[in-house]
Structure 1
């Protein structure tokens, strides 16, 4: 791989300042949970403002629904923080060649979703799609088994805000408890 210049940002606001100053960037490797990301809104804002800049999301969250949401919000690739250097290099090369680079499981999930005409699953998917980006982030962390306090820490929000999101998620999914939310999240 040719020599490259790397710039680093510790938050979305710092990233936006860097991108304004350095409009010739070839690729952005973005941590999904960097400070100021606010769920997927940070990614969505970057991909809308810098539509020519390819973005690869890097995250420890390997939930397929998170990867799919990253793709829906403009990411061209997704790499796990546990990926090897060769996997990261391949993802970078693939995206720089104009191709998408997501784990093969995501492609199978997308194909299965197209083939599967089960009405109840489609209803659940429609309900999940109605979640706001912040609610979806809470929803994904619930699926990982995190407690409200842990979710608050991960998303840099208060525990009371997490509880409000969980209540809104239960209302939108038409379920009565957190366990049912987790069951739905693991099916999506």
Structure 2
């Protein structure tokens, strides 16, 4: 059965490798690509439908898990597999807690990538065999962040990047008072008192970039 699959990754070689792997395993499928987070929305809003998204957490504009939550909030019916160079147990667990249906390390063999895609397309959850994390605050923060609307998640992404309210308002094309109202609601929903505390939580959700490959 042919599928429409969106590969969202800023590395051209990674997109090419994934596209070739999918083309061989699922012949006839249409492969779509996005190199930045803001290129994903036009594809999903085109009306033609996408069956699954392969998503890099660290592509430009992504803001890590915040971008993942925005994607899941706006398109809850489309499953997402995170394909990441970060392979630690905490990152994997966080990705699942924040709405991913699967997680595949970029170092995984092609057979594992195909296995993950087929499992998620069948409605299953797929993660690599790694030691379980004991980080107890992940589910709690995920539950609180899940109450944020897509607009509030965009504001939170701006807070994570250290932007001022007026900068966020300009980028979202809304009044600064609207952003201030969103900030107030975000603080309440996240259970914090200050913008700084919200920024700390947001930075946890944004995730640190993976280490560069060893030459």
- 1:14-48 CA-to-partner distances (Å, cap 9, x unmatched) read 11111111441000000111111112111000011
Question: Quick one: distance in 2 between partners of 1:102 and 1:128?
Answer: 17
Residue in 2 that maps onto 1:126: 137
Deviation at 1:65, TM superposition (A): 0.8
Question: Quick one: distance in 2 between partners of 1:133 and 1:71?
Answer: 17
When the two structures are superposed, what TM-score results if normalisation uses the length of structure 1?
0.61
Whether 1:45 and 2:70 are equivalent positions in the alignment is: yes
CA contact (8 A) 1:39 1:133 kept: no
- 1:47-68 CA-to-partner distances (Å, cap 9, x unmatched) read 1111000100000000111111
When the two structures are superposed, what TM-score results if normalisation uses the length of structure 2?
0.54
Mark the CA change 1:21 to 1:87 in structure 2 (over 3 Å): closer, same or farther.
same
Residue in 2 that maps onto 1:4: 29
5+ residue gaps, structure 1, are 114-123, 151-188
CA RMSD between the two structures = 2.5
Residue in 2 that maps onto 1:30: 55
Aligned residue pair count: 129
Question: Quick one: distance in 2 between partners of 1:98 and 1:127?
Answer: 24
- 1:89-139 CA-to-partner distances (Å, cap 9, x unmatched) read 00000000100000122xx516xx5xxxxxxxxxx733996562423445x
Whether 1:109 and 2:127 are equivalent positions in the alignment is: no
Choose between structure 1 and 2: higher helix proportion: 1
CA contact (8 A) 1:54 1:75 kept: yes
Query: What SS is found at the alignment partner of 1:70?
Result: helix
Question: Quick one: distance in 1 between partners of 2:103 and 2:60?
Answer: 18
Question: Quick one: distance in 1 between partners of 2:118 and 2:100?
Answer: 15
Query: What SS is found at the alignment partner of 2:55?
Result: strand
Query: What SS is found at the alignment partner of 2:82?
Result: strand
Query: What SS is found at the alignment partner of 1:36?
Result: coil
